[in-house]
Amino acid sequence: MNPNLLHTFLIVAETGSFTRAARETFVTQPAVSQHIRALEERLGSRLFVRAGQRIHLTPEGEELRRHARAAIKALEEAELALTAMNALERGRMRIAATMFMAYLLPPALMEFKRRHPRVQVEVRFHNSAEVIRQVEDGSVDFGFAGGLADPSSALRVTPVHTERLALVAPPDHPLVGRGPLEPADLAPHMLAIRERGTYTRRRVEEWFGDMALPLSLVEVGRIEAAIQLALSGCLTFVPAGAIRPAAQGDRLVVLPTRGLVSELDYDLYLFGDTLPSVASRVFLELLAELPVLSGAAALRDLLAAHRAASPGRGGRVGRDTRSDDGGSPARDDG
């Protein structure tokens, strides 16, 4: 129902006059009469009884006035709420991300909350397949995940970061100082590795080829667990960015390898052609300006296209999808 009709109806009901209602709404009296007639036809009920210059509400009109006041109040409250959300004085932002992104997102999250403390922020960490699923079903506003070979046509995929897969060990490990390592060199040693189906696990399995993984294998569900095992003497494969603090403290070293495909690609996933909220746009703009993403320029291009398409409101953005060479299913971050 057109809220303008309800507004006109309430003014007529409160003033008891079509003429006064016309003056208050800055329209002609015939226009007011037309609005009331259209409303009566829509509802199939007489709303006013007219007697000369005087009008009174019918019982149906009294009932409509009660509901119309509530409806207009709800619309006004909605307008105020949206205004506050657009000004980032309230609202909510939901993000899904792979485990490795937990090492990249905190600076942007902290700065966003510092600037906009009243916006609720929820970050969920999952493997890539689950991140992508949550973007597709609308559970989150956007997500960061490993590359998807054949993304859904409903998704907008923008590459934002490339990380190196590293084989790491403590400084006193027997393999430290050896030349480039091959899979056979790892066979006698304990190896910690992510669970089956994850991005890093597939990279490692590709490297081993037909050769079996070491018998002394520990499967872990979190990067942090793999790092802790490495600190205790185990070999492990993790994104290099996850062990930089430990490596800088000489607690872990990266071992050279031969033939390992080490590039890990991470993408921003959006559902449809729009950024879902002002909070999402502001957060991504902040993230793009911080020195954490190797592909920040692609993110900045996406945001610039968004602004150009619909200044100030959010509109359609260009599609930027990518496929890898293997047609594999969704990747996990490792």
pTM over 0.75: no
Checking DSSP bridges between strand 263-271 and strand 253-255, what pairing results, if any?
A: unpaired
Distance (Å, whole) CA 105 – CA 88: 20
Which residue shows structure tokens 């590795």? 193
Taking 80 as the threshold, does the pLDDT of residue 291 lie above it? yes
Distance (Å, whole) CA 276 – CA 135: 11
Do the domain assignments include residue 250? yes
Q: How confident is the model at residue 328 (pLDDT cuts 50, 70, 90)?
A: very low
Taking 80 as the threshold, does the pLDDT of residue 150 lie above it? no
Domain boundary among 239, 258, 277: 258
One domain, residues 151 and 279: yes
250 φψ region: left (φ > 0), alpha (ψ -120 to 50), beta (else): left
Give Cβ neighbours of residue 322 (< 8 Å, ≥ 6 apart): 147, 157, 159, 267
One domain, residues 173 and 232: yes
Per-residue model confidence as pLDDT tens digits over 299-314: 999 998 887 775 544 4
One domain, residues 65 and 102: no
The reported pLDDT for the residue numbered 270 is: 92
Domain boundary among 86, 107, 125: 86
One domain, residues 154 and 270: yes
One domain, residues 155 and 278: yes
The reported pLDDT for the residue numbered 300 is: 93
Distance (Å, whole) CA 133 – CA 140: 10
| Mean pLDDT (whole number) for 40-49 | 87
Taking 90 as the threshold, does the pLDDT of residue 287 lie above it? yes
CATH number at residue 56: 1.10.10.10
Do the domain assignments include residue 194? yes
One domain, residues 150 and 22: no
Do the domain assignments include residue 325? no
Taking 60 as the threshold, does the pLDDT of residue 321 lie above it? no
Q: How confident is the model at residue 28 (pLDDT cuts 50, 70, 90)?
A: confident
Q: How confident is the model at residue 80 (pLDDT cuts 50, 70, 90)?
A: low
Do the domain assignments include residue 330? no
Do the domain assignments include residue 118? yes
One domain, residues 116 and 155: yes
Per-residue model confidence as pLDDT tens digits over 185-241: 999 999 999 887 677 888 899 999 999 999 999 999 888 999 999 999 999 999 998
| Mean pLDDT (whole number) for 272-297 | 89
Percent of the chain with pLDDT over 70: 84
| Mean pLDDT (whole number) for 18-35 | 86
CATH number at residue 144: 3.40.190.10
Q: How confident is the model at residue 52 (pLDDT cuts 50, 70, 90)?
A: low
One domain, residues 157 and 270: yes
Biggest CA pair distance of the chain: 104
One domain, residues 171 and 206: yes
Do the domain assignments include residue 130? yes
Give me the domain span that covers residue 50. Answer: 3-86
Do the domain assignments include residue 315? no
Nearest one of 295, 313, 306, 298 to 272, comparing CA atoms: 306
One domain, residues 75 and 98: no
The reported pLDDT for the residue numbered 69 is: 83
The burial of 43, by beta-carbon neighbours within 10 Å (0-12 exposed, 13-18 middle, 19 or more buried), is given as middle
Helix spans in 87-165 (H)? 106-115, 128-136
One domain, residues 252 and 178: yes
One domain, residues 80 and 196: no
What are the Cα distances from residue 284, in Å, to 161, 302, 303? 14, 10, 8
Taking 90 as the threshold, does the pLDDT of residue 78 lie above it? no
Do the domain assignments include residue 124? yes
The reported pLDDT for the residue numbered 201 is: 85
Structure token pair of residue 302:
């996406």
Least confident of 18-22, 120-124, 211-215: 18-22
Checking DSSP bridges between strand 155-169 and strand 235-239, what pairing results, if any?
A: antiparallel
Domain boundary among 43, 60, 86: 86
Count of domains observed in the chain: 3
